[in-house]
């Protein structure tokens, strides 16, 4: 019988969990043996008893669970020690983000285990249910607007009061991917005037459908291929974008930046010179701060004031909404498990790692102690040398 271990997150500030009673119940119904580390769901407001009620067994610690498991489920990338605990023949399913912490991958390599990296799931229709980047970015876009509203010293909506009229706040959003679209929708629901810009001109219709105004910038290649994911822009495009949105940013009360490129440093969209043009008391919420930041003077994990502008560098926003973030992520992971251990007639729950499969081939970054993902190998090469 294939066994699953649900690990408790060890990283500071990580409140999510990789499986909920809903998904554990589905695993048990399929015939999996499910182990859950004690208190794994506490930060997501899930008691251990909720897991045992659907058939899971609680284990005392991470090492015990890994020693028994064929599949280890986590949210955040493992520490080096956690990676090394994945036994040979077992698969860790979690985010990896090797560019941010190569040392974590070294642990998995040394232990001889395998890693299914959730951020590498291809953006295809078949893999849509496994797309954790989208499910978590949706939450980040929502929470970014709430953070901006909390840090701003004024209302978002237009108000007509006996004491006079309160004008609505102006919000500018960089990037119309999953996070950006949710940010537009949330800011509009709060009553703000919303403008958005993106490298892809085809998203104009999506912005307008949510009640925002699209700031048009001629793209590098006039591409019309639809996508909700960011790509790297040329320096020439960034220059055109800065000129086009400069006036809007100068008048904005809140600016939210969402542009991230997987495996690379985030593009700088708001240089310090642009910050200096903004209104005194304006707010920038930088969702790319962990990848270097879309604003070159934002600070990771901090809220600071520079040139009269409040820069919000709060990280891991999905973790601040742990109930729904865990529910959505757990379902993404469940679909991954279903793909790795497909249902068969007389199902004996055998795990398969078919690298000819487009999802498995793209997402398994480390297998049996060897690195399969070329960008990860490139990041590790200096350390190996």
Residues classed as catalytic: 123, 128, 131, 134, 229
The DSSP output letter for 157 is: S
Separation CA 284–CA 254 (nearest Å): 6
Please, which residues bridge with residue 174 across strands? 197, 257
Shortest CA distance to 4 belongs to which of 90, 117, 107? 90
Give me the half-sphere count of Cα atoms (radius 13 Å) on the Cβ side of residue 4: 32
Burial profile 167-206: b = 16 or more Cβ within 10 angstroms, e = fewer: ebbbbbbbbbbbbbbbbbbbbbebebbbbbbbbbeebbeb
**Ramachandran region of residue 164, left (φ > 0), alpha (ψ -120 to 50) or beta?**
left
- Cα 121–Cα 126–Cα 130 angle in degrees, nearest 5: 45
The DSSP output letter for 194 is: E
SS3 of 3, please?
strand
Shortest CA distance to 89 belongs to which of 66, 106, 73? 66
**Ramachandran region of residue 222, left (φ > 0), alpha (ψ -120 to 50) or beta?**
left
> Would strands 170-174 and 254-257 be described as parallel, antiparallel, or unpaired?
parallel
């Amino acid at each position: 019988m294939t066994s699953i271990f649900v690990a408790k997150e060890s990283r500071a500030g990580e409140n999510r969990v990789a499986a909920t009673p809903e998904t554990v119940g589905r695993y048990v119904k399929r015939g999996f043996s499910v182990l859950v580390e004690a208190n794994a769901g506490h930060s997501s407001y899930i008691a251990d008893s909720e897991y045992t009620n659907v058939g899971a067994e609680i284990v005392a610690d991470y090492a015990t669970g890994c020693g028994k498991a064929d599949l280890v489920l986590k949210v955040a990338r493992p520490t080096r020690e956690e990676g090394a605990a994945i036994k040979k023949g077992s698969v860790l399913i979690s985010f990896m983000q090797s560019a941010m912490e190569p040392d974590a991958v070294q642990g998995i390599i040394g232990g001889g285990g395998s890693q299914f990296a959730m951020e590498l799931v291809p953006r295809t229709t078949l893999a849509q249910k496994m797309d954790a980047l989208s499910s978590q970015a949706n939450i980040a876009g929502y929470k970014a607007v709430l953070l901006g509203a909390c840090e701003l010293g004024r209302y978002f909506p237009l108000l007509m009061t006996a004491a006079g009229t309160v004008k609505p706040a102006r919000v500018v959003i960089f990037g119309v991917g999953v996070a950006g679209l949710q940010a537009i929708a949330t800011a509009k629901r709060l009553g703000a005037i919303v403008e958005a810009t993106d490298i892809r001109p085809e998203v104009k219709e999506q912005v307008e459908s949510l009640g925002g105004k699209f700031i048009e910038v001629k793209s590098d290649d006039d591409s019309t291929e639809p996508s909700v994911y960011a790509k790297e822009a040329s320096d020439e495009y960034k220059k055109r974008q800065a000129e086009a949105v400069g006036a809007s940013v100068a008048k904005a009360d809140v600016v939210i930046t969402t542009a991230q490129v997987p495996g690379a440093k985030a593009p700088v969209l708001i240089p310090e010179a642009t910050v200096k043009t903004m209104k005194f008391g304006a707010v920038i919420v930088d969702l790319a701060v962990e990848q270097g930041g879309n604003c070159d003077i934002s600070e990771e994990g901090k809220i600071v004031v520079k040139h009269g502008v409040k820069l919000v560098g709060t990280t891991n926003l999905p973790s601040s909404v742990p109930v729904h973030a865990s529910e959505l992520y757990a379902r993404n992971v469940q679909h991954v498990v279903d793909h790795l251990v497909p249902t068969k007639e007389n199902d004996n729950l055998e795990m398969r790692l078919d690298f000819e499969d487009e999802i498995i081939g793209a997402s398994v970054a480390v297998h049996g102690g060897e690195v399969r993902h070329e960008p990860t190998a490139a990041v590790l090469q200096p350390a190996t040398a």
